[in-house]
A and B are shown apart, each in its own frame.
Chain A
């Protein structure tokens, strides 16, 4: 079945550096979303990119989507300690009628 897979599983950087996380998936999608989860909290929606879009920006976030490679990347620029969290991609799978499928996430640690 369809599943988003994030890479790397864990990432540790210094404050001010950029963080890049990648997501790969297997089937055709309507859109791909990125969510953030702080420790002990629920998931918070960050950004949605549709299958006919290649790049999208929201503040310090930049998301790219390459449907030919079935991959997406999330770039966080000028990272802050408050960006420390787990980041998940979720794919809206056409074959399953828009069911959301989540990956296992990337744990980002931003050191002050």
Chain B
């Protein structure tokens, strides 16, 4: 148990659907991260929030829209995704922005039909 919970664990959606991924951390951390993990590629940092404010957006297409309503919750809203967006999406948290180590959830396995 890492203290970071992601739901759903698996998601299959069509390219025209709208869905959301949810992440909740029970560690009292101030920073939260979204990563994309594709086969045979390093983890890609997508977004970073610190104290509910977005501090990094790493050239992520607008079809991915993050939301951080409070320091314990992080969402990733998905809309009009492409087949190449199929991947494992991992949420992580840390005590402060860019503090280490980061604590990861188990991810959402996303498949785009």
Chain A residues near B (Cβ < 8 Å): 3-4, 31, 33, 35, 40-45, 48, 88, 92, 97-105
The docked-state distance in angstroms from the alpha carbon of A41 to that of B6 is: 11
Q: Chain B interface (Cβ within 8 Å of chain A)?
A: 2, 4, 6, 40-43, 45, 90, 92, 98, 100-107, 109
Pick the residue among A35, A42, A98 that contacts B107 (CB under 8 A): A42
**CB-contact partner of B101 in A4, A45, A97, A101, under 8 A:** A45
Q: Are A100 and B100 interface neighbours, CB within 8 A?
A: yes
**A97 B42 Cβ-Cβ under 8 A:** no
Q: Which of B41, B42, B98, B106 contacts A42 (CB 8 A)?
A: B106
Q: Which residue of B lies closest to A96 (CB)?
A: B98
Among A43, A92, A104, A105, point to the contact of B100 (Cβ < 8 A).
A92
CB<8 Å pairs between A and B, sample of 27: A4-B42, A31-B100, A33-B101, A40-B106, A40-B109, A41-B107, A42-B2, A42-B4, A42-B6, A42-B92, A42-B106, A42-B107, A43-B102, A44-B2, A44-B104, A45-B101, A48-B101, A88-B43, A98-B98, A98-B100, A99-B45, A100-B98, A102-B42, A102-B43, A103-B42, A104-B40, A104-B42
Number of A-B residue pairs, CB cutoff 8 Å, is 50
A99 touches B98 (CB 8 A): yes
Q: Judging by beta carbons under 8 Å apart, are A43 and B98 in contact?
A: no
Complex contact A100–B42 (CB within 8 A): no
A48 touches B105 (CB 8 A): no
In the complex, what's the smallest C-beta–C-beta distance from A7 to chain B, in angstroms?
14
> Is there contact, CB below 8 Å, between A42 and B105?
yes
Decide if B90 touches A43 in the complex (CB within 8 Å): yes
Complex Cα distance, B90 from A79, in Å, reads 27
Point out the residues of chain A lying under 8 angstroms from B105, CB to CB: 42
A33–B104 CB distance below 8 A: no
Specify which chain B residues have a CB less than 8 angstroms from the CB of A102 in the assembled complex.
42-43
- Which residue of chain A has the shortest Cβ distance to B9 in the bound complex? A40
Contact of A43 among B40, B41, B104 (CB under 8 A): B104
Which of A43, A88, A101, A104 lies at the interface centre, i.e. has the most chain B CB atoms within 10 A of its CB?
Answer: A43
